Every structure is written in C-alpha cells, then in structure tokens.
Amino acid sequence: MTRTTSTAATTSRPPRILAPSILSADFGRLAEDVKKVEEAGADWIHVDVMDGHFVPNLTIGPAVTEAVRRITLLPIDVHLMIESPERFVEAFAGAGADRITVHQEVCPHLNRVMDQIREAGALPGVALNPSTPVSTLSEVVGDLDLLLIMTVNPGFGGQSFLTSSLGKVARARALLDQRGTGRAHLQVDGGVDDSTIGLCAEAGADSFVAGSAVYGHADGAQAGVAALRKALSQVNERRA
Ligand code: DX5
Ligand code: ZN
C-alpha cells in the first residue's frame, strides 16, 4: 500500500489541514466512518490515545491504529495523551502512524523523544495543555514538525472551545515564524467547529482537529467536513 505524502516542505507555510478525530466515530463502524471523512476530503485521520493517567479517560492503542492504517491511505496523526510516551513510539510507528505527537508535560527529555519518533519513521509533534506556556518549547521549536495547542483540557471529546487559547495560538504562530523550520504545522484540537475554526485560522493555526463537529453533525460526517471546509474558506487570511 502506498501512502500519500503528508505535506510539502517547500513552501514557507504548510497547507491547511482538516484532521477528523475518530474519537467521536462509531467504533462499531470504524471503517465506514473513516471512509466517510476520506471521501469528504479530510486530509489526515487524527487518533486520540488516552491512558487513564495523564488524562482521565481510556481510548485506543496501536491495534486500532493498525486497523485504521489498513482502511485508508490518508496520513495518520496520532495524539498521545499518555505518560511516558517513549514506551509506545515504536508500537505506534509500526502500526502505521505518520505523525506522533507527545505532550510536553510528560517529556522531561523532549529532544530525545522527538529523535526517537523520527528514527521510528514518523514526524514528531509536541502538544501543550491549556495551562502550559508556549515559551516552554522555545528551545525545541526548530526541530518540530507539528506544534499542537490544546483548545480544551484533554481527555474527552465534545468540550467547549477555550477562547482564551486564541492568544496562545497567535504566540505559537509567532514562535514558529521566528524560529521554526517553515514545515511545522500549528494544530488546534478541542471544541473546533464551524464557529471556532475561523478564529483559529486567523490566529495562525493551519491544522484543525475536530471530533464532534464532524461525527456529531446532524447531517452526517461528510456534511461536518464540508461545513468546516466552508468556514475555513471564509476566513480572511492574514498571511504574509
Ligand atoms: C481531546 C482530544 C481531541 C478531542 C476532539 O482530549 O485530544 O482530539 O477528541 O474532540 P472535539 O472536536 O469533540 O472537541
Ligand atoms: Zn487529539
């Protein structure tokens, strides 16, 4: 199976990415639910992994990731909300993850984990909880392929977007512009829907995770993707 490439690394800013989270999918119909968003034009499939320690919820692991790998050619974007993520990097990369994002809060040796992710064949990302400042990444930002600003406290789908995180997205944008590689995505995750996605884009995000706005859409997941795409297209870009 040939995978699609993630994104071009040649432009000064990566393209905008819609990444539906399968956390809100029907796990009994997972293949169908992944296909639906693929056909609707989703760019990546976001896989939320929770361990019941770092966050108060348990979700899925490498086996389900591997199952998703078999049913789609889209890049798989794994978000590890787990303690000691270095124990599972190879398992998720081996299961087919194209990107692996770990939380800053559980990685005292971030450089080491990012190297480990790259050596395992995936692209490394780092996520920040709402209470963790952007400045904690100032020394590693040049090595990142993705910086994830959590726009809810992680653990559950369907929470309300924290408007206070918009300023943080803008600060992350500034840090990436000043010291990033140009290829790193700035991702937002949590409470992203057709009323908040534009605000995130205006603040500088270019990768958008959405669970309930996609799979909970009244007219189905395909309509959910279309609504987000439409809201994004209406954003008056403030790109240089
Ligand atoms: C939050 C997860 C998210 C979440 C998104 O803990 O990382 O990916 O499931 O779900 P919504 O879009 O419903 O907030
Ligand atoms: Zn997530």
Nearest CA to ligand 1 atom 3: 190
- Distance between Cα 210 and ligand 1 center (Å): 6
Task: Report the distance separating Cα 132 and Cα 54, nearest Å.
Answer: 14
Question: What pLDDT does residue 143 have?
Answer: 95
* Of 152, 187, 196, 207, best ligand 1 pocket probe by most atoms within 8 Å of the beta carbon: 152
Let me know if 48 is a catalytic residue.
yes
Query: Quick count: other Cβ atoms within 10 Å of Cβ 136?
Result: 13
Q: Is the distance from the beta carbon of residue 157 to the nearest atom of ligand 1 less than 6 Å? A: yes
- Looking at every residue in the chain, the average pLDDT score rounds to 93
Ligand nearest to the CA of 22: 1
- Distance between Cα 191 and ligand 1 center (Å): 7
Task: Report the distance separating Cα 62 and Cα 75, nearest Å.
Answer: 15
Q: Is the distance from the beta carbon of residue 212 to the nearest atom of ligand 1 less than 6 Å? A: yes
**Which member of 33, 48, 51, 98 is catalytic?**
48
Q: Is the distance from the beta carbon of residue 77 to the nearest atom of ligand 1 less than 6 Å? A: no
Which region holds residue 191: left if phi is over 0, alpha if psi is between -120 and 50, else beta?
A: left
Residues of the chain with pLDDT under 70: 1-14, 236-240
| Residue 131: partners with Cβ closer than 8 Å, 6 or more residues away | none
Tokens of 149: 């600003």
- Distance between Cα 21 and ligand 2 center (Å): 7
pLDDT digits (tens, 9 = 90+) for 113-128: 999 999 999 999 999 9
Question: What pLDDT does residue 15 have?
Answer: 76
Let me know if 43 is a catalytic residue.
no
Nearest CA to ligand 1 atom 4: 157
